[in-house]
Amino acid sequence: MAARRRTKIVATLGPVSSEVEVLDAMIAAGLDVVRLNFSHGSASAHAALAEKVRSRAQLYGRQVGILADLQGPKIRISRFKHGGTELAEGATFILDAALDEQIGDMFRVGIDYKALPEDVHDGDTLLLDDGRIVLWVEQVLGPEIHCKVIVGGRLSDNKGINRQGGGLSARALTEKDMADIKIAADIQADYIAVSFPRSAADIEQARQLLRDAGGQGGIIAKIERAEALDDIDAIMQSAEGIMVARGDLGVEMGDAALPPIQKSLISQARQSNKVVITATQMMESMIHNAIPTRAEVFDVANAVLDGTDAVMLSGETAVGKFPVKVIEAVDRVCLQAEQQREIRVSRHRIDSKFERMDEAIAMGAMYLANHLPVAAIAALTESGSTPLWMSRISSGIPIFALTPNLDSQRRVTLYRGVYPVAFNVEYTDHASLNREMIDELQRRGVVSDGDIVIITKGDIEKPGSTNALKLVRVGELVSPNVQSDCE
């Protein structure tokens, strides 16, 4: 039986990947979750694309999750008369909050974030265009920020601005974001990604707005500000997961600091029972090239070895020439990295005490899975919590989340090593239910006679809490009149 990839692939949809033929090929290649970038496109376009994704996935007998990525605050320069200018090292250049947004030149340019002059001070370092342009603030005069060019080059329209070390005060949720949250609720997005959160309060605000609009999706906190690292424990607890957004975070913290930050964030997310996405420039050269660079292969593999739930593709699948080939490439790299023995064992929470029965069952199941030749885990679940807890334990064992809940089927598409299975409970006795769960896995060709399978489930009459664990061998008959002690 071919190995199943455990690490999930998130791909951004765009002009090159929205047509049915390309989308079908991406799903067939292993796409798990699509990212809808709310920085572009209309509400109707997002709704149509979400419907297309779900209908095409259904034809393949799959669930593909939907991540709605909010734009966040636009901390950017405005536009130039001629599309851009060359900045020479040592020259003076002015960021002018009062300047018309269309008339920038070689001496000054407007800024979309009008509060920037209040946020910066003499001696600050500003990084533009992902750090390609470096400006040193000499003085702030009213709406004008007078700078000296430290690293020059070509500066074009609408490039982002970061302050080295962070500290810009723009709120995470703009008016546009608040309107977009309602759109995300309307299309029943499985996850909402909040851009540039500063604290847990930003996450809670997004959740409240989403629930008020009728949405039930999880909240992903994009860690891309230095301030977010200062409040990371609270942010981690407030969100369902995090995204290591390496673009802006790397600019603010510095490239050299980024690898250990990434490793720490992935580890902390897993310890906190949260999902984690690693994003930005994973396979960026494949926007133009049919194969990745060796550095990109190592980058993806290292994220897998660190324990990321998912890797995310942006321009590679939104505007690149090879949206299907890049998914195939990521699939190959992830599968190979997952064969390493060191990521198939775990001491996660081995010395912990558990406060919840369902969490204890999940941990017990994974302990058994790592100490017996188990072929699969069948977790009957309402909310998906039990498979999430299981997926925090490093293992090579596939976890099948059997659930009648469509929202849960879609949400687990982001959990590492968890595969959704639509399953309706038709029996009230445990023995018949066990048999039907095993039959479902056999129908899907994931287990065979003689395989050992772990089953977890809750009381049938009282759904919502997993409290039973059973070891079964496929092909052995279980009498309806005989129940195990743990059931």
The yes-or-no answer on residue 35 being catalytic is yes
DSSP string, 96-134: ETTS-TT-B-SSEEEBS-TTHHHH--TT-EEEETTTTEE
Q: Between helices 258-271 and 294-306, what is the axis angle to 10°?
A: 30
The yes-or-no answer on residue 85 being catalytic is no
Encoding tokens for residue 151? 């690293």
Give SS3 for 399: strand
Q: How many CA atoms lie within 13 A of 110 on its CB side?
A: 15
Residues 40, 38, 28, CA angle at the centre, nearest 5°? 95
Q: How many CA atoms lie within 13 A of 355 on its CB side?
A: 0
Which of 168, 159, 172, 101 shows the shortest CA–CA distance to 130?
159
User: What b/e readout covers 196-235, taking b as 16+ CB neighbours within 10 angstroms?
Assistant: bbbbbebbebbbebbeeeebebbbbbbbbbbbbbebbeeb
Strand pairing category for 275-279 and 310-313? parallel
The yes-or-no answer on residue 222 being catalytic is yes
The yes-or-no answer on residue 280 being catalytic is yes
Q: Which residue has the tokens 């920038």?
A: 104
The Cα 314–Cα 280 span in angstroms is: 7
Size of the chain in residues: 487
Cross-strand partners of 126: 135, 163
The Cα 66–Cα 54 span in angstroms is: 9
Catalytic residue among 280, 308, 317, 413: 280
Catalytic residue among 222, 225, 416, 470: 222
Residue type, 342: E
Q: Are 91 and 152 in contact (CB under 8 A)?
A: yes
Catalytic residue among 35, 274, 410, 457: 35
Which of 5, 58, 56 shows the shortest CA–CA distance to 26?
56
Residues identified as active-site = 35, 76, 222, 280
